[in-house]
Structure 1
Amino acid sequence: MHQSTGSRDAATAFPLPDLADDAAERRQANRAIAWGAAGLAVTGLVELVIALSSGSVGLLGDALHNLSDVSTSALVFVGFAVSKRVASERYPYGYERAEDLAGIGVALVIWASAALAAVESIRKLIDHGTTTHAVWGVVGAAVGILGNQVVARYKLIVGMRINSGTLVADAKHSWLDALSSAGALLGLVGVLLGASWADPVAGLAVTLFICHVGWEVTADVLHRLMDGVDADVITTAEATASDVDGVRHAHARARWTGRTLRVEMEGWVDADTTTAQADAIGRAVAARLARALPDMRSFTWSARAV
């Protein structure tokens, strides 16, 4: 509900039209997390059994990465569960930031997987370890590619639909597993062709893939935690507000808290503008911004006299 301003310079929060159904989005996220975890658990266990029996460190790294996705799914689930708590005096913006903090957990698991895969690959390369049952290893890697592609695509679609940076990060983690499975597959094919060193080299290649996505996920999560937004958001907000009759100049700030894009707008109006007129101008700005920035779920307007 609209909160009345005591003066023209007071900040006012306006209701926005066509807000997304938060409960429905949470159900979509929870389904994506649950089905993704189940699929990766099966994929990872199949690969792990074959990796332990064959001694393939490339496949082992891929299996560990798949199983780590199960643990990151649990972190994402906890983040969504905490974020739905209502705002309080101690946390006036609510708990939506918990979703972003869960992304930090996802990033840490990715880096831990990279470290373990690197250690095992280097150890096998130095010790000239052997790989047996390479044909079964190829089958396991193929299972990894298929399973991860399906899970990654599913989570990415849901994450993009509900604007969840954490779920998108988790999808990238699963997508990485498909690439690492392909690396493990190439290493095992090399072993079948007589190059025993191909498997540990593939393990190192898998490690590099893990580090690459780990870097991207970490950068994305930190960008949100540091209240970063795309420059287009600010440009669009200010241009849209400036086009509204009565607004002489506009300055915007924005940030993400979980899946909520919060926009704060200062609009300069003529000195003789009444409080009621400034209020009407703010409502017009909110209506236009809701169309220009469909991800915006919170809007605060402050009118300033020129």
Structure 2
Amino acid sequence: MTQHSHSHPAGFKGFFYEIFVPHSHDAADSIDDAMEAHSEGIRALKISLVLMLGTTVVQAVIVTFSGSVALLADTIHNLSDALTAVPLWIAFVLSRRVATRKYTYGFNRAEDLAGLFIVLMIALSSIVAAYEAIDRMINPRPMDNIGWVIAAGVIGFLGNEAVAVYRIRVGKKIGSAALVADGVHARTDGFTSLAVVVGGIGVVLGFPLADPIVGLLISAMIAVLLIGTVRSVGRRLMDGIEPELVDRAEHALQHLAEVESVESVRLRWVGHRLHGDALVRTSATSLAEADHLAEDAEAAVKKRMPNVDEMTVRVMANVR
């Protein structure tokens, strides 16, 4: 297997980079059937949606009798996270549809549009959380049942982290940047829930402003972490590709004895599936040999990268 041709941050920074900006190129080693990938993605969304709605309901009940603005901000964010599963679910269902004369490449791009919607929802939740925190600073209100608020924060963290791990794992497995982004969204919710715990402890220690201050910090943290998700989803929309996937395709082509050189390789994500083309040079002297090589080359790439749906290989030969 070829090594990654681009580097990731190392050390402490790399640890947080992998937590909050995971990438999905590992899919090249996993599911090779498009329908199976769609089904696994939908199953992940169903399970995580139920978990997130349950977490949100518990937190909303505690908000009503505690008056915690930090917990309210966290609950709003958790609700937005749960709702982002709906458009992504629709996108996975659309991806199952066969191509038509109007949409000749199929409907897999719906998944990338859902990823953009998720980015917008994360941004909106950050704005709402900031507004509520600032309002509570200007118009202070007492916070009751602090023990329950702290418990709700812990519940929020556990629920969100479980959903995040599941979504990111499945997203990486099937190559879905949108599902990975949704997992990152859940993970930010989890850490903001821990911030609610900190705010509650601050109030217990005699610092009432700790609650709205933490609510404001939550919105700021969401905005900062949004940058990595924007890059990931934006790269997909711009047909960006992880360089190591190009390396892997080139490696598969170069190992064919008939290939003298690989002139170019292009890949792009369409939803969570890969499409691409390549140009190779050979010393073949007949059209039959060139055609046979093109078929072998396509098969070699698909074997090496199971989630490649389409690979068109052109052959430059010394045909007489």
TM-score, normalising length from structure 1? 0.88
What residue identity is the alignment partner of 2:267? A
Provide, for residues 124-145 of structure 1, a one-character-per-residue CA deviation record: whole Å limited to 9, x for no partner. Answer: 1233443222111111111111
Structure 2 unaligned blocks of 5 or more: 1-29
Q: Does 1:120 align with 2:100?
A: no
Task: Map Cα deviations across residues 67-96 of structure 1 (whole Å, 9 max, x no partner).
Answer: 112210101111111121111222221111
Give the one of 137, 146, 149 matched to 1:137: 149
| Distance in structure 1 (CA, Å) of the matches to 2:173 and 2:242 | 18
| Whole-angstrom CA distance in 2 between matches of 1:204 and 1:295 | 42
- Is contact 1:248-1:267 (8 Å) kept? yes
> Which segments of 5 or more consecutive residues in structure 1 lack a partner in the other structure?
1-17
Q: Provide the residue aligned with 1:266 in structure 2.
A: 279
Amino acid at match of 1:196: P
In structure 2, distance between residues paired with 1:274 and 1:93: 32
Give the SS at the match of 1:248: strand
Larger Rg: 1 or 2? 1
> Percent same amino acid among aligned pairs?
33
State the Cα distance separating 1:185 from its structure 2 match: 0.8
CA displacement at 1:192 relative to structure 2: 0.7
- Residues 57-136 of structure 1 mapped to structure 2, 5 A cutoff: 57-136=69-148
Distance 2:204 2:110 in 1: 47
Q: SS at the partner of 1:300?
A: strand
How much does 1:33 deviate?
Answer: 1.0
Question: What is the rounded CA distance, in whole Å, between the counterparts of 1:295 and 1:41 in structure 2?
Answer: 32
Sort the Cα spacing of 1:222 and 1:111 in 2 relative to 1 into closer, same or farther, 3 A. Answer: same
Contact 2:59 2:71 in 1 (8 A): yes
- Per-residue deviation at 1:19? 7.1
Given that 1:245 and 1:281 are in contact with CA atoms closer than 8 Å, whether structure 2 keeps it comes out as no
CA contact (8 A) 1:85 1:94 kept: yes
Aligned mates of 2:131, 2:161 — CA distance in 1: 26
| Post-superposition CA distance 1:244-292 (Å, at most 9, x none) | 233233211110001111121011234x632211112122322332343
Partner of 2:32: 20
SS in 1 for 2:104: coil
**Which stretch of the first structure deviates more once superposed, 208-217 or 193-202?**
208-217
What is the 5 A alignment of 1:223-234?
223-234=235-246
Compared CA separation, residues 22 and 241, structure 1 to 2 (3 A):
closer
Please give the alpha-carbon distance, in whole angstroms, between the structure 2 residues aligned to 1:139 and 1:239. Answer: 52
**How far did 1:204 drift?**
1.5
Letter paired with 1:161:
K
**CA distance in 2 between partners of 1:21 and 1:244 (Å):** 25
Aligned equivalent of 1:8: none
CA distance in 1, matches of 2:34, 2:246: 24
Amino acid at match of 2:184: K
Report 1:159-198 matches (<5 A).
159-198=171-210
Moved more, 83-92 or 61-70: 83-92
Question: Would the aligned equivalents of 2:31 and 2:174 in 1 still touch at CA under 8 Å?
Answer: no
- In the TM superposition, structure 1's runs of 4+ consecutive aligned residues that sit over 6 Å from their partners are none
Instruction: Give the superposed CA RMSD.
Output: 1.9
